[in-house]
Amino acid sequence: MTFVVTDNCIKCKYTDCVEVCPVDCFYEGPNFLAIHPDECIDCALCEPECPAQAIFSEDEVPEDMQEFIALNAELAEIWPNITERKPPLPDAEENDGVKGKIKDLER
Ligand code: SF4
Ligand code: F3S
């Protein structure tokens, strides 16, 4: 089992999640973070930390966001590790809650 970052992280990237992860399994792209499914120990600490409520347990990922399960696995393999919190993206507040941001995902 793993936790999964989903749509609402895109263009927000608050990074509160990385601060609490005991195994440092977050990976950073330009406007999204991904969790490495083979490294996540399923501790659930990150889920309540995300101000955008973008993190779900794999078995609780909403129906319309199932593609994020494979996307996290794919991107965590190619992006660099992130272990420290940094400022959110400049337009995080305006983009928090906007639906369907996957079209804006930058690789
Ligand atoms: Fe890290 Fe735990 Fe979140 Fe997995 S569930 S990404 S181990 S904080
Ligand atoms: Fe993204 Fe939430 Fe972490 S917005 S960077 S999953 S705190």
Alpha-helical segments (H) within 1-107 = 16-20, 67-78, 92-95
Question: Judging by beta carbons within 10 Å of its beta carbon (0-12, 13-18, 19+), is residue 40 exposed, middle or buried?
Answer: buried
Please check whether residue 34 lies inside any domain of the structure.
Answer: yes
Domain of 66? Answer: 3-84
Please check whether residue 100 lies inside any domain of the structure.
Answer: no
Residue 75 CB less than 6 A away from ligand 2: no
pLDDT in tens, 44-98: 999 999 999 999 999 999 999 999 999 999 999 999 999 999 999 999 999 999 9
Q: Please give the radius of gyration of the chain, using alpha carbons only, rounded to the nearest integer.
A: 12
- Whole-number Å distance, alpha carbon 95 to ligand 1 midpoint, is 24
Separation of alpha carbons 3 and 61, rounded Å = 9
Residue 23 CB less than 6 A away from ligand 1: yes
Please check whether residue 46 lies inside any domain of the structure.
Answer: yes
Q: What is the separation, in whole angstroms, between the first and last Cα of the chain?
A: 25
Please check whether residue 103 lies inside any domain of the structure.
Answer: no
Please check whether residue 48 lies inside any domain of the structure.
Answer: yes
Please check whether residue 93 lies inside any domain of the structure.
Answer: no
Please check whether residue 18 lies inside any domain of the structure.
Answer: yes
Is the model's pTM score more than 0.95? yes
Number of domains the chain is built from: 1
Pocket residue to mutate for ligand 1, from 2, 19, 25, most atoms within 8 A of Cβ? 25
Please check whether residue 43 lies inside any domain of the structure.
Answer: yes
